[in-house]
Structure 1
Amino acid sequence: MRVSRAWFACLLLLPTASCSGGSAPSGAAPQPTLPERSGPPAGMDESLRDAALELVEKREDALVAGDRDAFLATVDPDALTFAATQARWFDNMAQLPLTDVSYELGDESFMTQVAGAGDLQLPVDFTMRLEGFDERPVTQQMVWTFARDGEDALLADDRNVQVEARSGWTPAPWDLGHIEVRRSDGILGVFDEETVDHADYVMRDLADARAAVRARLPRWSGRFVTYGTSDTAVMDEMSAMSVDDTAAVAFPVLSRPRGPVAAYRFMVNPEVVSDVLSRDLVFRHELVHVAFGTSDDRSPTWLAEGIAEYVARTPFSVDERRRIASAQLVAARARTLEPTRRFYSRDPQLNYALSALVCDFLATTRGEDVLWDLVRTFDGARFSFWTETEDVVRRELGVSTRELSAQALAWARSA
């Protein structure tokens, strides 16, 4: 994380008239009288607390019961935009296989860092789990802004920039717009109004991609969630490359900020959703990342991406894969494979193609187990810097990654 240092400029004091006594100099303008505060500061009206906590319970009960009218009755009707988004959000939730739903009063210790708004603000933790897809419930930290309605409270907002930045919250498609959900045999696809026209074909291709990946990784459950929405803002934040160069992104969903992983999901660039020719390959690649989950977190980037791309290409014959690699790497020379995230910023096309070829070469000439064993070795290996991963490769395979790339290039070009 890049850290910037702020330098404070000294304020120059303007010359002032001096006084020898305690009274104001003759002719001085009288000081204005400040009006008395008519109520508590914004967001601090504690007299509304009991009513606000009661409203929290009402919203939980309504969401669990699927009572749309009761849920929306808790919303301030004067907050027109918020009321509309809450109606849309409830309709989105109704399409998801929700369980473990709750609203709880959150950690109040950081509320001094939150800009005041409305009559009262309270931290609220929203918890939910996608049944059959998430290993554990997922909790989102929120700040709710309440408005007084006589002796009662109404909700005026549930978003807060400070808490979202603090928790690292990443919005899901159901938080951003209207969604259309498709579910089939352990696959949950989330689409929107612009991508839903392709949903039936995408779900079929996802099933085919899963079968291809499970043939190589049979221990994987094959259950997953994917986003095929037209909003690419979240993808832009997640990807180390530009959105135009990013076909899809696999990502972990944490059970709570800095907590354990509840699920691995992936989102697809809307251009890929509508691309019949390329989406099969993209789906297989991303599903490998989903299947591995956190188990390849300590693998060098070339290995994690190389395995995913190798598995994605396995529906092609060995000779076809060698010819594809030879065409992609026609001018490439042997090099040390990139272990860090510079993989995505320094000639990523070359990095992907060369890593895929090296993994294909290893799997074809030494057997696929050499790849899985290497991932397990890295998961338990002790090293402090990514440069040390070269030593692990030499110990396990007897060669450096530069030597591996030379052997793989010669193998591809001899096809």
Structure 2
Amino acid sequence: MTAPLTRRAAAGVLAGALAPVLAGCTGGKGSAGPRETAATADPALQKLLTRHAAALLRRDRQAFLADVDPRATRYHAAQQRMFDDIADVPLAAWSYRLVRTGAFPLPASAGAAGTARTAAEVELSYRLRGYDAKPVVATAYLTFTHRAGHWYVAADDDGNAAGKRTAVQLWDQGKVTVVRGTHSLVLGLAGTTALRGHAADADRAVPRVQRAWGRAGWPGTVVVEAPKTLDQLGALLAADPGDYRDIAAVTTGELGGRAAAPADRVLLNPAAFGRLSAFGRQVVLTHETTHVATRLATTSRTPLWISEGFADWVAYRESGRSAPEIAPELAQDVAAGHVPAALPANADFRPTAPALPQAYEGGWLANRMIADQWSPAALTAVYRAAGTGTPLDTVLRSHLHLSLAAFTARWRTYVQQELG
């Protein structure tokens, strides 16, 4: 649900998009251990996880590694690196909750003599100090070993052999550098200079979003994660990296509409983002920050032409650019006599959709039309109402006094006027 780099070629920019993601870790493979052992294993495993999380939070390396199986040499080494790589991340909370055990297959070769193994689904929850009002929640599938009366964490990658596409965290990929801005926190694997630039762009984005959307319902800050490679971005999203090759940025987080909506992260694609002009980078981060601000008002019922078009409207609102500069692909279609017959459908916003640029541009023009011909307040009211489950035709009649069919006809005329 993002726009390709070519979409803003004429203006030298690209706006990323909302991508609802629940970040996870890895799972198991093979034949499951006996379910009857769970009753005795569960309390001990939860106690282990609680102790393990507390050791990480208080930066007690020895205690943290004491819970990792010393015979699992590769995993033990990986956990040492992770403990060091996360050191500068300002964690306010970190906890694990054991969800279930014994339900996930393990490799047939698992376990040496005298060692019992079990797999478990675990919920990881963490918050960043000063930035997260709600936690980020991720699912992990961990393997535990039991030997000589002691449980250990032994693996988190058995699921790879099962072909599962699972997500990792930034600190699983390398040393995290932290840059703090006035309204932003940037976590990155790249150099400090680049991260400071991201923080500066994010700091400029927040006031622009506040002027358009308001201050209520979001913290007025944004957390940006900057991996070094496209493959790392794909791992963070648990997605095929190729689908995001030309995507400059993605906002993660479940669709909200409720107080329990989790914290958002803006993830940057270093290659695509790096090819943008200074103006383009600012547009992208303003667009993504808008998604952060509107999260609680955005649900699965919100049409993507509204949520994506609104984010673009905020990003371009103060740019001074003309409509053909901002919507070059749709302008080209209009010049050739091809005016869209309907508002963009949700399917038109898939990363691989053939007319993805036109979907974004059409959504932007629909939002711009509401703000121009009614008012910015009417636009935000339509946005909020669209996520409530009220039929869109009813929303438009209530706030704009037009049916969906009449609004669509008016939008088609507006597209022709602005781009023709």
**2:137 counterpart of 1:130:** no
**1:221 maps to amino acid:** P
When Rg is computed on C-alpha atoms for both structures, the one with the higher figure is 1
CA contact (8 A) 1:325 1:412 kept: no
Secondary structure at 1:232's aligned position in 2? helix
Partner of 2:22: none
TM-score (norm 2): 0.73
Higher relative contact order (CA 8 A, sep 6+): 2
Judged with a 3 Å threshold, the aligned counterparts in structure 2 of structure 1 residues 342 and 390 are, in CA distance, closer, same or farther, namely farther
Partner of 1:88: 81
Provide Cα deviations, 1:232-277, integer angstroms capped at 9, x if missing partner.
214665699921232211121599xx99422122211112442451
1:14-413 pair list within 5 angstroms = 49=41, 55-108=48-101, 111-115=102-106, 117-118=110-111, 119-121=116-118, 123=120, 124-161=122-159, 170-192=167-189, 194=190, 196-219=192-215, 220-229=218-227, 230=229, 231-234=232-235, 237=238, 242-252=243-253, 260-275=260-275, 277=277, 278-297=280-299, 298-317=301-320, 320-325=321-326, 327-328=328-329, 329-332=331-334, 333-344=339-350, 345-383=353-391, 389-390=392-393, 392-393=395-396, 396-397=399-400, 398=402, 400=405, 401-413=407-419
CA contact (8 A) 1:106 1:141 kept: no
Secondary structure at 2:68's aligned position in 1? coil
CA contact (8 A) 2:309 2:366 kept: yes
Q: How many angstroms does 1:107 deviate by?
A: 2.6
* Alpha-carbon distance in structure 2 between the residues aligned to 1:189 and 1:302: 29
Judged with a 3 Å threshold, the aligned counterparts in structure 2 of structure 1 residues 139 and 282 are, in CA distance, closer, same or farther, namely closer
Judged with a 3 Å threshold, the aligned counterparts in structure 2 of structure 1 residues 42 and 92 are, in CA distance, closer, same or farther, namely same
Q: How many angstroms does 1:151 deviate by?
A: 4.0
Q: How many angstroms does 1:330 deviate by?
A: 3.5
Instruction: Among all aligned residue pairs of Structure 1 and Structure 2, give the percentage whose two residues are the same amino acid.
Output: 24
Q: How many angstroms does 1:67 deviate by?
A: 0.7
Supply the RMSD in Å over aligned alpha carbons.
3.6
Judged with a 3 Å threshold, the aligned counterparts in structure 2 of structure 1 residues 79 and 113 are, in CA distance, closer, same or farther, namely closer
* Alpha-carbon distance in structure 1 between the residues aligned to 2:211 and 2:167: 32
CA contact (8 A) 1:195 1:228 kept: no
Structure 2: give runs of 5+ residues left out of the alignment.
1-30
* Alpha-carbon distance in structure 2 between the residues aligned to 1:266 and 1:59: 28
CA contact (8 A) 2:306 2:363 kept: yes
Q: How many angstroms does 1:282 deviate by?
A: 0.8
Provide Cα deviations, 1:37-77, integer angstroms capped at 9, x if missing partner.
xxxx9856969958766644542332232111221233233
Structure 1: give runs of 5+ residues left out of the alignment.
1-40, 384-388
TM-score (norm 1): 0.74
State the aligned residue count. Answer: 360
Judged with a 3 Å threshold, the aligned counterparts in structure 2 of structure 1 residues 53 and 354 are, in CA distance, closer, same or farther, namely closer
Provide Cα deviations, 1:295-315, integer angstroms capped at 9, x if missing partner.
132221111111111111112
Q: How many angstroms does 1:173 deviate by?
A: 1.4
